Structure 1
Amino acid sequence: MDKGSKKDVMFEKMIEKKKEVKIVRRIVFVIVLIILIASLLGGRAIYKYISESLQPVDPKSEEIIEIEIPIGSGLTSISKVLEDKGIIKDARIFKYYAKFNNQSQFQAGSYGLTKAMTLDELIESLKTGKVYRTPVFTMTVPEGLTLDQIAKVVEKRIGIKEKEFLDYVNSEQTIEAMMIKYPKILSEEILNEDVKYPLEGYLFPATYPFFEEKPTVETVVTTMLDATSSNLTPYFSYLENNNKSVHWLLTFASLLEREATAKTDRETIASVFYNRLKIDMALQTDPTVLYALGEHKDRVLFSDLEIEDPYNTYVNTGLPPGPIANAGRSSIEAVIDPSTTDYLYFLADYEGNNHFAKTYDEHLNNRNKYRPN
C-alpha cells in the first residue's frame, strides 16, 4: 500500500471517528432530553427504565459471573456481552454512559464480575484489565439499619470492634476528611448541631466484597461511601433542578425505609409525607420517635410522642435534622417519583398491609377496623 493510500485510510478512519462522536453526542442529548420530558410530563416508565439501567442489576448479588473479552473487542460488543450475561440491564445505555464519560478503551481478558457492580466499577475493571480476584469474604448490610446496628454487623463479620467503628465514623477528623473526599454527597448539612451522627444514613445498604482478611475501618467506611456516591449519582440532576440536597433525599428516604414492610407501597407513603409537608402538617411518624429515644420498642406509647427532641416529628414539623437509618434504592426512588394522591394519613394493619385516608375521620375508621386494640 502506497503512502497516499495509507493517508486515505487514516483520513477515512478520522472521519468515521468524528461521525461516531457526533452520533454519541446526539444520542446522549436525546437521552437527557427524554429524562427531562419524562420528569416534566410524568413519563414514569421511561424515567424509571433509564434510571434503573444506570443502577446495579442486583446490589445484593454475590454470584460471580465469568466473562471473556476477546482481543480487539469494541465497546459495542463488550456491552452486548455484559447484557447477555445479565451484568447490566441495557447494553445501549452502558455504551452511551461509557462514551459520555470518555471511557471506551477496554482491555481484553477473563473477568469475574457480579450483578452488584455499578457501571463505574465495571468500567474501571474493564479499563484497567484487572482480572477478578475471589473476595476473601463479603459483608451484607441490609436496608434500614442505623450506624449503631451497622457497627454490630461490622464487628461480627470483619472483627472491627463496635466501639472502634463508631469512634471512627463520628470523629471530627474522619468527618472532615470524608467531606473533602466526597464533596458531592457530604455537605455542611451533616454538621448541623441537631444531627446526632454526621454519617447516619450515608453508608449504603449492599453486599460488599473484601479482598483482604483484615480491612481497616477506613477501608470499610470508604468502600461504603463509594457505594453511596455511585448509587446517588443518577439523582444529582434531579436534586439540582429541584433545589434539593443529598441530605434532604437521604433523610426523606430513611423515613420511608423505616416505615416500610414487605407489602408497603413506598410511593404512596411518600405522597402522604409530601402532602403533609405542603401544608406544614407534622409528619407524625413513629420511627423518628424511636430514633429520638435511642431504643427499639414494639409499640410507641403516647408518652413517648411528647419527647422534646429535634427528631420527634410529632412535636416538630418538617423533616428531621438528618437520616434515621440507611435507605435502599426503592425508598430513594419513591422520594424521587412518589404517587400522586390526596392522602394525609396511613396505618398498617397487623399483617403489614397499609390503609390510607384523606381525612382524620377516615383514618379513625381505618384504625377501628384494622387496629382495634
Structure 2
Amino acid sequence: MIEKLNVRKSEGRVVRRIVTIVTLAILLIVLVVGVSGFFYVKSAMKPIDPEATAEIEVEIPMGSGITIISSILEEKKVIKDARVFKYYTKFKNATNFQAGNYVMTQAMTFDEIIESLKTGKVYREPLFTLTIPEGLTLEQISKIVEKHTNYTAEQFMEKVTNKEFIQNMMGTFPDLITEEVFNENIRFALEGYLYPATYSFYEENPSLDDIIKMMISQTNDIVVEYSALLQEKEMTPHQLLTFASLLEEEATAQTDRATIASVFYNRLDADMPLQTDPTVLYALGSHKERVLYEDLEVDNPYNTYKNPGLPPGPIANAGKVSIESALSPTDTDYLYFLADKEGNNHFAKTYDEHLKNIDQYLQQ
C-alpha cells in the first residue's frame, strides 16, 4: 500500500510538472504572438521607405469603400498591410475619400495618404462633376443626372428601382442597405440612400451603375462613422436615414435641426403623430408652397398626420448635419414648432403655446 501511495505521489508530481510546463508554454506562445503582433502593426504603420521618391500612380475607382481602397494601396505597394490601414482609418474616423487618380510614394505616412484621399489631390482634372443638393428625391436627382450625362431620367429611375441592382448594392454595402428597403409601402427602395455632395468623374461616360454606386458609397461612409451611436440608440441605418430626411425637409437656413429632432423624438415617446408637412407632400407626389387642410387627409402610408411613427422610408436625401441631429437631438420638452415667414423657428411645450405662436407669427 505504501508503495502504491508513493507511486501515486510520484505520478501526481509528474502531472503537475506537465501541467505547469504546458501552461508556461501556452503563456509564452501568447506573449510571443502578442509582442510579434504589436511590432508587426507598428512596422506596418510606418512608411515602406521613408527615403523613397519614385512616384506611384494609384487609381481609386468610383464607389470604392475603405476596404477596396486599402487593398489597392497594398497592391500598389504604397502601404504594407491593407488591414492595418483600414483599421487605422476607422480609428481616426476618416471618411469622405474621393475617387480619382493619385500620385503617391512609399515615403508617405498613413496620415498623409488619408489627407490626400480626403482632399482629392489628383494629377488629373475631372472631366465633369455632378452636384446633388440636400433634400432631393430620387426623381429630382434623376433630372440632374440627365442634365450632366448621356443617361435619361427614365433610365436612372429604372436602374434605382431595379431589384437585381438593389440586391447587388445590398451585397456591396451590407451594413447600410438591408431588407428594410423592401418593407411594405416603401415607394422607392433606394430613396434617401444617395448622398448629397459634389462628385467628380474622370472618364467621359461612366456607367450608370458606377454613378449611383458612388453616391451610395458616400452615404455608407457617413453612416459607418456613426455606427457606435446607432447601436447606442438601437436605431437601424434605414430608420436613421428616414428620420434625418424629415429634418432635412423641415429645415430652413435658420433652423435648429437638433431642436426639431427633439420635437419628433418627444412626439414619438408620447405616441403622438409626427404631423410633418413634407411627408404629406411626398405622399401626394407633388411640391406645393402651402399644404392645405384637405391634403392632410390623403390616404397614404407616408402621411404622418394619418399614420403614427416614422414613415416607411426616407422622403429625400439628407446631409450630414441632419444625420448628426437625428442622432444627437437637443434635450427639450417641446412638442410643437413652426417656422415664421422669415424662416425662424418657434417652439412650444403645449398646444396652447403653439396656438399663441401661430397667432403671433403666422396670422400677420
- Structure 2 length as normaliser, TM-score? 0.72
Aligned with 1:198: secondary structure? coil
- Give the aligned partner of residue 36 of structure 1: none
Contact 1:343–1:357 (CA under 8 A) maintained in structure 2 = yes
Picking from 298, 301, 315, the partner of 1:310 is 301
Consecutive unaligned residues in structure 1, runs of 5 or more: 1-13, 26-49, 88-110, 123-130
1:331 partner letter: S
Contact 2:333–2:349 (CA under 8 A) maintained in structure 1 = yes
- Residues 223, 323 of structure 1: alpha-carbon distance in 2 compared, 3 angstrom cutoff: same
Picking from 361, 364, 369, the partner of 2:352 is 361
- Give the aligned partner of residue 236 of structure 2: 245
- Give the aligned partner of residue 18 of structure 1: 38
Q: Say if 2:204 is the partner of 1:169.
A: no
Contact 1:138–1:208 (CA under 8 A) maintained in structure 2 = yes
- Structure 1 length as normaliser, TM-score? 0.70
Picking from 221, 230, 245, the partner of 2:212 is 221
Q: How many residue pairs were aligned?
A: 287
Q: Say if 2:148 is the partner of 1:157.
A: yes
1:68 positional shift: 8.2
Q: Say if 2:107 is the partner of 1:72.
A: yes
Which piece of structure 1 moves more, 200-209 or 230-239? 230-239
RMSD of aligned C-alpha atoms? 3.1
2:134 partner letter: E
Deviations for 1:277-329, whole angstroms, at most 9, x for unmatched residues?
A: 00110000000000000000000000000111100000111000000000000
- Give the aligned partner of residue 68 of structure 2: none
Contact 1:272–1:345 (CA under 8 A) maintained in structure 2 = yes
Cα distance in 1 for residues equivalent to 2:355 and 2:108:
64
Deviations for 1:197-253, whole angstroms, at most 9, x for unmatched residues?
A: 000000000100111111121111111111111111111222223321100000000
Which piece of structure 1 moves more, 211-220 or 324-333? 211-220
2:266 partner letter: N
Contact 1:269–1:346 (CA under 8 A) maintained in structure 2 = yes
- Give the aligned partner of residue 289 of structure 2: 298
Deviations for 1:79-130, whole angstroms, at most 9, x for unmatched residues?
A: 7xx7xxxx5xxxxxxxxxxxxxxxxxxxxxxx7x663x6xxxx9xxxxxxxx
Contact 1:51–1:234 (CA under 8 A) maintained in structure 2 = no
- Residues 365, 202 of structure 1: alpha-carbon distance in 2 compared, 3 angstrom cutoff: same
- Give the aligned partner of residue 289 of structure 1: 280
1:75 positional shift: 3.5
Contact 1:251–1:319 (CA under 8 A) maintained in structure 2 = yes
Aligned with 1:253: secondary structure? helix
- Give the aligned partner of residue 199 of structure 1: 190
1:72 partner letter: A
Q: Note the 1:328-339 alignment, pairs <5 A.
A: 328-339=319-330
Cα distance in 2 for residues equivalent to 1:259 and 1:286:
8
Picking from 265, 268, 279, the partner of 2:270 is 279
Cα distance in 2 for residues equivalent to 1:19 and 1:214:
46
Q: Note the 1:320-331 alignment, pairs <5 A.
A: 320-331=311-322
Contact 1:170–1:197 (CA under 8 A) maintained in structure 2 = yes
Cα distance in 2 for residues equivalent to 1:198 and 1:15:
48
- Give the aligned partner of residue 224 of structure 2: 233
1:55 positional shift: 4.5
Contact 1:345–1:357 (CA under 8 A) maintained in structure 2 = yes
- Give the aligned partner of residue 126 of structure 1: none
- Give the aligned partner of residue 142 of structure 1: 133
Cα distance in 2 for residues equivalent to 1:17 and 1:180:
31
Contact 2:271–2:308 (CA under 8 A) maintained in structure 1 = yes
Cα distance in 2 for residues equivalent to 1:51 and 1:259:
33
Cα distance in 2 for residues equivalent to 1:173 and 1:315:
33
Cα distance in 2 for residues equivalent to 1:209 and 1:200:
22
Cα distance in 1 for residues equivalent to 2:265 and 2:231:
18
Consecutive unaligned residues in structure 2, runs of 5 or more: 1-33, 46-89
Deviations for 1:156-180, whole angstroms, at most 9, x for unmatched residues?
A: 1113100000011101221222112
- Give the aligned partner of residue 269 of structure 1: 260
- Residues 23, 238 of structure 1: alpha-carbon distance in 2 compared, 3 angstrom cutoff: farther
Identity of aligned residues (%): 50
- Residues 15, 74 of structure 1: alpha-carbon distance in 2 compared, 3 angstrom cutoff: farther
